[in-house]
Amino acid sequence: MRAPELRGDVWLNTGGRPITLAELRGRIVLLDFWTSGCVNCLHVLDELRPLEAEFADVLVTIGVHSPKFLHEGERASIEAAVRRYEVHHPVVNDPKMELWSQYAVRAWPTLVIVDPEGYVVHVAAGEGHEEALRRVVADLVKKHEAKGTLRRGGSPYVPVEEQQSELRFPSKAVATAEGRILVADTGHHSVVEFASDGETVIRRFGSGERGGQDGPFDIATFTEPSGIALLPYDVAERAGYHAVVADTAGHRLRGLDLITGEVTTVAGTGAQWRNGPDAGKGVEVDLTSPWDVTWWGPAGGVVVAMAGNHTLSVFDPVSGRIRRFAGTTVEGLKDGDVREAFFAQTSGLAADGDKLWLADAETSALRWIEPAGDSFTVQTAIGIDLFSFGHTDGPADKALLQHPLGLAVLPGERIAIADTYNGAVRRFDFFTRDVTTLATGLAEPQGLLLTDGQLLVVESAGNRIGPVPLGDPSVVSGDAHAVRRPPTVLAPGEIDFSVVFTAPPGEKLDDRFGPSTRLEISASPPELLADGVGAGIELTRKIRFAPGVTEGVLQVVAQAASCDDGSEHPACRITRQDWGVPVRFETGGARELSLVMAGEPREAE
């Protein structure tokens, strides 16, 4: 398949100059289809960094930003995201998802490799492909060097100059018993301790370098820290530190001693969780993008919003152990017992007595958890599904948010919501079940803090923290929106479905301990599928759509295990990807649907 030419409305990190594939002929090009609010896309940015360094003279990475939410398609939003996440390669904005369609992309993130002659030779959906990509690129270098079609040197990347500020893309804040304010200064990879005025800097935890080093406050390093939780006094005394920090991109929890300034790793290995143990001694368990943390008595510890795999964990600072608390790793919105519920990139937590409130970013939802017998149950206050969003006040079952990231408990069983992509602070009243708006025009609010009767908001894209009036709220009647992805047009009735997975060079499927692949299919609405739903070991099956249903979303989870070929002690890897594929039915539509998890693509469908 010849790679379609690159076109978009905005080019970043190029000095504003568009880049064409034609001028990159002779180089290996890696296209990263991403969107800034997708945590899996952020994982991929970190996976690409070592590859970009290793193959700097032959590989050109270009980010194709195909937005999920309306806000993500705005120029200011994508410019902020490129700076916030330290993206050091060219990025083209694809607001109408035209490149997404031309490359037959169906999931965030998706990686496409174009060879030096301009052909698409490899596609990988999801994350965890670093080693496979390394092998594919190395194989292409060897092949095209022998053919004389490889060109080395030069980079189209042009860095953007930034103005310095005290805070850089801050995210969350808490107030200590002494009235000081701790702010996660995410972009500076540190935690800032302010005086009670929120302006005078007392101390900064972290040198500002990206990393995971423990030690004194001025030597320790963080990697994009976010949530901060203060421990109860008696727990802090026994644990030996006073606060827990969600070191998000470092995949760790860090302990802060607010007296000595010492920083220690209390959970996480620094490696991202893939498919291993999710309980045990904290420092021996892999975590995945812990985004927020809060102490909640009913759970018996610090609840951790594990945004990277759509679950919640509980960390006990005294024993140092961590365990899965809620969620199955399936992304979605499903209430009920916490062990079977679905979450979607939980990014904000707030404890209020026997209720734990949470903001699920990808379903634009406000939800809560409370004890139920010998377990816990989750319920949804605001939110519909993975695809519906907007800015609409009124009864909670009709209200809409857009990618909220922060919460705070207000007096009178009311919850303040940092409605991030709407640039607003919203309020939910538990008794009346009404939603109103407290403030608008904010620059990506991500954190909220109620201290001394005043509500403070952390404006991430504004690099500041400031007050929000708690007076009479307004009622906004905005439009409802849906995630904009081109639907796949299929024929009604039965179709052939498959997931493509090809082990990278030097690997083979691993079936030593059972089947090497797994496929699970469901649908939204559930009545979309008449046959073919459920889990199995084959990556192909026939599925039949119910008559009379005209459209819906096909939900697919695929997994494959592969190992080094020919090695006595092979290294093994699990590749997993979730898809939500919008489908529409028309006479004459395709009778076959194939999704590429990893491997060489077919002709564009």
Three-state SS letters, 507-521: EEECCCCCCCEEEEE
One-letter amino acid of 488: T
Strand order in the sheet with 336-337: 336-337, 375-382, 365-372, 355-360, 346-352
**Among 470, 504, 536, residue at a domain's last position:** 470
Q: Is the dihedral of CA 388, 126, 95, 2 positive or negative?
A: negative
φ, ψ at 73 (rounded to 5°): -85, -5
Q: Are residues 392 and 509 in the same domain?
A: no
CA 418/CA 447 separation, integer angstroms: 6
| Spatial distance between the Cα atoms of 37 and 40, rounded to a whole number of angstroms | 9
Strands (E) across 297-364 are located at 301-306, 311-316, 321-326, 336-337, 346-352, 355-360
Name the residue type at position 82. V
Do 356 and 392 belong to one domain?
yes
Same domain membership, residue 308 and residue 423: yes
Give the integer Cα–Cα distance in Å for 176 and 179: 5
Task: Output the domain CATH number for residue 56.
Answer: 3.40.30.10
C-beta separation of 361 from 446 below 8 A: no
Q: Spell out the residues 6+ positions from residue 26 whose beta carbon is closer than 8 angstroms to its own.
A: 116, 149, 150, 151
Q: Are residues 375 and 498 in the same domain?
A: no
Tokens representing 93 are: 């904005």
| Contact between 216 and 257 (Cβ < 8 Å) | no
Are residues 432 and 405 part of one domain?
yes
Q: Compute the distance between CA of residue 14 and CA of residue 26 in angstroms, rounded to an integer.
A: 19
Assess contact for 307 and 289: CB atoms under 8 A. yes
Residues 5 and 34 in one domain: yes
Task: Give the residue carrying structure tokens 């510890």.
Answer: 301
| Any domain includes 300 | yes
Residue type, 79: E
Cα-Cα-Cα-Cα torsion 478, 331, 45, 122, nearest 10 degrees, comes to: -110
| 136 in any annotated domain | yes
- Say what the pLDDT of residue 432 is: 97
Output the pLDDT for position 604: 41
**Angle in degrees, 0-180, between the axes of helices 130-147 and 39-54, rounded to the nearest 10:** 40
Q: What is the DSSP string of 406-453?
A: EEEEETTTEEEEEEGGGTEEEEEETTTTEEEEEE-S-S-EEEEEEETT
HSE (CB half, 13 Å, CA atoms) of 348?
33
Question: Taking a C-beta distance cutoff of 8 angstroms, is the pair 402, 421 a contact?
Answer: yes
d(CA 543, CA 559): 19
Per the structure, how many domains does the chain have? 3
**Alpha-carbon gap, residue 252 to 287, rounded angstroms:** 6
- Does 517 reside within a domain? yes
Last residue of a domain, one of 154, 186, 212: 154
* 203 and 252 together in one domain: yes
Q: Indicate if 399 and 318 belong to the same structural domain.
A: yes
Instruction: Report the Cα 406 to chain-centroid distance in Å.
Output: 15
466 and 491: one domain? no
The DSSP 8-state label assigned to residue 375 in this structure reads E
Contacts of 320 (CB under 8 A, 6+ apart): 266, 267, 281, 282, 283
What does residue 588 show for φ and ψ, rounded to 5 degrees? 90, 0
| Distance of alpha carbon 159 from alpha carbon 90, whole angstroms | 9
The closest of 444, 341, 598 to 81, measured between CA atoms, is 444
pTM: 0.92
* Residues in contact with 311: Cβ distance below 8 Å, sequence separation at least 6, in sequence order: 278, 324, 325, 326, 327, 328, 329, 343
- Domain boundary at 445, 470, 495, which? 470
Percentage with pLDDT > 70 across the chain: 99
- Residue 577 falls inside a structural domain: yes
Residues with Cβ within 8 Å of 153's Cβ and at least 6 positions away in sequence, in order, are 57
Same domain, 452 and 306: yes
In the chain, how long is the greatest CA-to-CA distance? Answer: 72
Is residue 159 a part of any domain in this protein?
A: no
Based on the fold, state whether residues 413 and 268 are members of the same structural domain.
Answer: yes
- 161 inside domain: no
Say if residues 363 and 346 touch (Cβ distance below 8 Å). Answer: no
Confirm whether 160 is domain-assigned: no
Q: H-helix or E-strand containing 81?
A: helix 75-84
Q: Is 569 helix (H, G, I), strand (E, B) or coil?
A: coil
**Low-confidence spans in the chain with pLDDT less than 70:** 513, 602-605
Domain range for 89? 1-154
Claim to verify: residue 288 and residue 426 sit in the same structural domain: yes
Strand, coil or helix: what is 351? strand
| Cα–Cα distances in angstroms (integers) from residue 191 to residues 208, 221, 231, 263, in the given order | 9, 10, 16, 11
CATH label of the domain that carries residue 226? 2.120.10.30
pLDDT of residue 10: 92
Instruction: Let me know if residue 479 belongs to a domain.
Output: no
Q: What digits encode the pLDDT tens for the residues 55-103?
A: 999 999 999 999 999 999 999 999 999 999 999 999 999 999 999 999 9
